[in-house]
Amino acid sequence: MREIRAAVCRSFGAPLEIETLRLADPGPGEVQVDIEAVAICHSDITYADGGFGGDLPAVYGHEAVGRVAALGEGVTGLGVGSRVLVTLIRACGDCPACAGGRATQCATPGATAPLTTREGDTVLAAMNCGAFAEAVTVDASQLAPLGDEIAPEAACILSCGVVTGLGAAVNTAKVRPGDWCVVIGAGGVGLNTIQGARLAGAARIVAVDVSEEKLDSARAFGATDGVLAGEDGHSAMMRIGRLADHVFVTVGAKPVIDRALDWCAPHGTAYLVGMPHVGTVGHFDPVNAAYYGQGLRGTRMGDVVLRRDVPWLLDLHAQGRLKLEELVSGTYPLEAINEAMAATRAGQGRRNVVVMA
């Protein structure tokens, strides 16, 4: 048991509070990691705002990088001091989902929360992580080895933003050379979806967002065309040339979800990448969807398999083919995490990152 500082949510919608908590030592199959940096993901904000519900008090944060501080019994392949990505993907390796290469849908329940107050009250380590903290204790399956070549503020984005967006294009949609793609939302996840579509050989990648500045950013990451949000999807695509094979909705806004199939060609599919609040109800025309053979499906964490995909992504970055540093908009100390949350909530920047002292 050790004491750490963490940003605690005690009331939905209220600022996070920096508190001293007690972190459990790693048990069998677990690893304790000293956090170097953790990015602010919109899912963290949705949780903190009460959009997903959940127990309180809680520590959010799941997009992190750090160094191994201690190993639990039975953990192999890592040593104290090893640098690792910390993700929310806890995989048993034995259930049907894991055996089928869908570790993000593992059926094994998460571990008991390893956080308590000094008085002994439980604090939830949300999403099996609780990485808005100086250290975490997580299952070894949630970690991916990482070298020292990438600065922590850029490396941490691999843990969620990169694999979620890029994986949606490469793993879930299986974009093929020559396909046409639409990416709605050019934030952190959207830019990585664009990178994935580019790497997969898409012929056209149409970015959709609210400003020309956002569209210029999308072009820098590989978009071939830009459309301002609010334009009719069908008309916009026909003006460019044809409807899309794949449409990636990287924002959780209901109006965008409702109109996602408007961008789709016959037999095209829209993918729900960004997470809306619990209780959001979407509407679409089932006659058109059935007649044209269109699909609507979800994708969680880009259907990533850490041991398979992270080495590939690191190699792409080393070759200069995957942008990471360019995703970082601002860095903040833990004490300023509410400022980082506010900037992200307001759409300011691609990824805002908390860097531990």
Q: Which two tokens stand for residue 136?
A: 């975490």
The Cβ-side half-sphere exposure at 221, using a 13 Å CA radius, reads 33
**Sequence ranges of the domains in the chain:** 2-159+323-355, 165-300
- Average pLDDT on 66-85 reads 96
Full-model pTM: 0.95
Residues 299-346: tens digit of each pLDDT = 999 999 999 999 999 999 999 999 999 999 999 999 999 999 999 998
Q: Answer yes or no: is pLDDT of 232 > 90.
A: yes
Exposed e or buried b per residue across 265-302, where buried means at least 16 C-beta atoms within 10 angstroms of its C-beta? beebbbbbbbbbeeeeeeebeeeeeeebebebeebbbb
Q: Which helix (H) or strand (E) holds 125?
A: strand 122-125
Q: Answer yes or no: is pLDDT of 112 > 70.
A: no
- Average pLDDT on 68-77 reads 96
Q: Residue 20's closest CA among 339, 353, 333, 334?
A: 334
Residues 125-178: tens digit of each pLDDT = 999 999 999 999 999 999 999 999 999 999 999 999 999 999 999 999 999 999
Distance CA 325, CA 43 (A): 21
What CATH number should be reported for the domain whose range is 165-300?
3.40.50.720
Q: Which helix (H) or strand (E) holds 254?
A: helix 254-258
For residue 42, give every residue at least 6 positions away whose Cβ sits within 8 Å of its Cβ, in sequence order, or none: 187, 189, 252, 274, 275, 344
Residues 28-69: tens digit of each pLDDT = 999 999 999 999 999 999 999 999 999 999 999 999 999 999
Q: Answer yes or no: is pLDDT of 349 > 90.
A: no
Distance CA 99, CA 85 (A): 22
In CATH, what class is 2-159+323-355?
alpha beta
